[in-house]
Each structure stands twice: as structure tokens, then as C-alpha cells.
């Protein structure tokens, strides 16, 4: 049975996880809490029913607290700069300086380029590219001063270059955003390496999150490749405690992390 270890691998650490009301973000927040982290769970969906898809930040926080962990919910629309600033301010007021930042939030529209509206393009860029950059700017001064910190950016296989005959499904802008996020990650990792701040980007593979199901991204041709969300949360945990000298600047994947470090994905809190 899954439990919270207050003396675990992340004991005393403060973690901010965006897009954590459901899916991968929810799993990461819970896994961090299980290892003793104080987790700030952030998304736009505060309570169940606020969004058509199931899940909410208050629900995730309650699961953590019921198991003896420590967490707080902070609503933030990452398309809004003020919300990003308020998120980090609220985290610091609740628990102190941020040790771990997970940039997981995303907003995605699958539309062919010939029809892609400018406003939706700019929204995706704001949430998935500038948002992680801005949040990193907000936490880095403290991390640099303390010579410690971890930033984990969540990407996708969509960042890989498709072949011309791959048969696009309107995911070009999504892949474009994730490719930019990966280049941001490696560049930032090199900038803050001397301050012992690890910056990595990881893709989950195909996970049956509510969003993936909603966009009908799982079908007969790929359903045998669906992996449990616990693989992603375990891999992200591994990226959140190693020194930068050991693990930083990686563009990696959950299955690669599981194999390289012989990880055994833990069950998550019920």
C-alpha cells in the first residue's frame, strides 16, 4: 500500500508542480509528496466539476494530506504573467524557497497549419514556452544563492522531427512548442551548471491521461504501447534529487530513465 515517508528522498524540499490537477502532473505531485516533499499543486481547475475532465488541485491536495503528506493548492493560469508570479510567491509564503520546479502545464490545439488561428498559437507559446522560462526566472535567484535546485520540464515525442509521409494530425504547433522547450532546457542547464542546479526535460511516452483520451490519441495502432503514469512519476522523481554534475541537460524519456537507473515505479496514493 502506498504511503508517505516524511523522511524520504525529498524530505524538507519544496516542490512546485504545474498542470497538476490530473494526469501526469497529478502523479508527479503525489510521488514527490510520498518522498516527503512539501508540494505546491497548481492548475486552473480548483474543484471537481470546474472542468469537463475529472480532477482538481484541491482533490490532489486532499489525497496527499489524507496520507499524512504536506501540500497546498494554488490556482494559476499560466497564460497570465501575474498568475505565474503569484504562484511562486504563494509557494514561498507557504513553505519557503522553491527547491524543485516541474513545468508540466500545457494547452494544446490539434489544428492543421493552414487553419491555425494566431491567438491559439500565441496561447500555446505563452503556456508551453514562455511560461516555463518565466517560472524558471522566478525561482533561479534563490536556487543560485543556495547552490541547489532542480527544474524538470515535461516534453513529448511530438518534439521529434516527423517524416514527410508520417501523416500529420494537426500537431505541428504542439511539436514546435515542445522542441523549443527542449532547447530551452539544454541551454539553461549550461547556464546554471556551476550553481549546482539540474535542469532536465523528459517525455512520458504514451500515457492514458484524461487529456490524451479526450484528444483520442490512443487507437488500435498504438494501444499496445500505452505505459502507466507511475513510470513517468518515478522517472521525474529520479531527476529531482541528483546533483547537476551527475544528471543535468538531458533530453530523456521515462522508459530510458527506468532502464538506466533500474527504477521500480511505486504505486501512487489511492
pLDDT tens column, 244-253: 999 999 999 9
pLDDT at 210 (0 to 100): 55
Cell numbers at 236, concatenated = 521525474
Q: What is the pLDDT of residue 212?
A: 47
* Per-position DSSP letters for 237-266, written without gaps between them: HHTTTS-TTTS-S-EEEHHHHHHHTT--PP
Considering the candidates 32, 95, 174, 253, report the single residue annotated as catalytic.
Answer: 174
Q: Give the other-Cβ count within 10 Å of 266's Cβ.
A: 16
174 is catalytic: yes
DSSP alpha helix (H) spans, the chain: 23-34, 57-66, 81-95, 118-125, 131-146, 172-192, 210-214, 229-238, 254-260
Please give the domain boundaries of the chain with CATH numbers for all domains.
14-260 (3.40.50.720)
Q: What's the predicted TM-score (pTM) here?
A: 0.92
In the numeric block, which cell numbers belong to residue 11?
524530505
Amino acid at each position: 500500500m502506498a504511503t508517505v515517508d516524511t523522511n524520504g528522498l525529498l524530505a524538507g524540499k519544496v516542490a512546485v508542480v504545474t498542470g497538476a490537477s490530473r494526469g501526469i502532473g497529478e502523479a508527479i505531485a503525489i510521488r514527490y509528496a510520498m518522498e516527503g516533499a512539501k508540494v505546491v499543486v497548481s492548475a486552473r481547475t480548483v474543484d471537481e466539476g470546474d472542468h469537463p475532465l475529472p480532477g482538481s488541485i484541491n482533490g490532489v491536495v486532499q489525497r496527499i494530506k489524507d496520507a499524512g503528506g504536506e501540500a497546498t493548492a494554488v490556482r494559476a493560469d499560466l497564460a497570465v504573467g501575474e498568475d505565474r508570479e503569484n504562484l511562486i510567491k504563494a509557494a514561498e509564503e507557504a513553505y519557503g524557497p522553491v527547491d524543485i520546479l516541474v513545468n508540466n502545464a500545457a494547452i494544446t490545439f490539434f489544428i492543421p497549419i493552414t487553419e491555425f488561428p494566431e491567438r491559439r498559437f500565441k496561447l500555446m507559446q505563452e503556456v508551453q514556452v514562455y511560461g516555463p522560462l518565466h517560472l524558471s526566472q522566478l525561482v533561479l535567484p534563490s536556487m543560485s544563492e543556495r547552490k541547489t535546485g532542480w527544474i524538470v520540464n515535461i516534453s513529448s515525442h511530438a518534439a521529434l522531427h516527423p517524416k514527410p509521409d508520417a501523416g500529420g494530425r494537426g500537431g505541428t504547433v504542439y511539436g514546435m512548442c515542445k522542441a523549443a522547450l527542449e532547447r530551452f532546457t539544454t541551454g539553461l542547464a549550461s547556464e546554471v551548471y556551476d550553481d549546482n542546479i539540474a535542469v532536465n526535460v523528459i517525455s512520458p511516452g504514451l500515457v492514458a491521461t484524461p487529456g490524451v483520451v479526450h484528444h483520442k490519441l490512443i487507437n488500435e495502432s498504438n494501444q499496445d504501447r500505452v505505459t502507466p503514469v507511475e513510470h513517468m512519476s518515478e522517472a521525474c522523481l529520479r531527476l529531482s534529487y541528483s546533483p547537476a554534475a551527475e544528471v543535468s541537460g538531458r533530453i530523456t524519456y521515462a522508459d530510458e530513465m527506468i532502464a538506466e537507473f533500474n527504477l521500480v515505479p511505486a504505486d501512487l496514493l489511492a
